[in-house]
Amino acid sequence: MSRCGYRMSTERSSGLSSKRPCLTLSVLPGWLGLEIIGLHAPVWEIARSVLIFLGIPLAAGFLTRRLGEKVRGRAWYETKLMPRIGPFALWGLLFTIVVLFALQGDAITSRPFDVARIALPLLVYFAVMWAGSMALGKAVGLDYPRATTLAFTAAGNNFELAIAVAIATFGATSGQALAGVVGPLIEVPVLIGLVYVALAARRRFPRPSAAAAVPQEGSARV
């Protein structure tokens, strides 16, 4: 996915994440004829968590790129600075997951049925969203790389943000935090498995022509 596309996706997530719980818990169940569950948390509490855990990193990333490219150039930023600071994001996420597992370990082992009730809908969600998005991309004429990007973007979830909001709103030992911890447990292996499915689905897409695959000399780089 392009940097512009990722930035737009992140900005939309920042603006909609505080409203999504009210929609999925208070509005959508009524449309589907299900029991409506009230959200016993102020909307501002959720919005503040989103602003802290997503808005601050987004602003820091924007300023780092803007200033880094302006002062030292894009080549230095992407080849020197990014490889140095990139691993910190993964280390921070791993540290958060380890701490949450330490806090939720007893709940995971003593309530396997609850874990299964969280995991099964997620499995269905990932499969349906990925397959539907891949089929939609092919139907509208996207090539294989773009259709695959669309499928994985649609199937992926901001579990890092979900964990942060759940902890800030309901507490680190709450059932909501447990659901956030179980999410990456399901998402990571499922998406890795879907990578192999995507590779197998490559043959269902038309192969790019040689002229399209090899850019002509003198053509502008995108």
pLDDT tens digits for range 30-41:
665 656 555 566
pLDDT at 5: 41
> How many domains does one find in the chain?
1
Q: Is 49 exposed, middle or buried (0-12, 13-18, 19+ CB in 10 A)?
A: buried
pLDDT at 31: 62
Structure token digits, residue 191: 């998406």
> Which residue in 5, 11, 7 sits closest to 145, CA to CA?
5
In which element (H, E) is residue 176 found?
A: helix 175-201
pLDDT at 115: 82
Q: What is the pTM of this model?
A: 0.61
User: CATH number for the domain including 46?
Assistant: 1.20.1530.20
- The range of the structural domain enclosing residue 173 comes to 3-205
The pLDDT mean for the chain works out to: 76
Does 217 reside within a domain? no
Residues 51 and 7: beta-carbon distance below 8 Å:
no
Alpha-carbon distance of 148 to 19, in angstroms, equals 28
Does 214 reside within a domain? no
Does 84 reside within a domain? yes
Does 210 reside within a domain? no
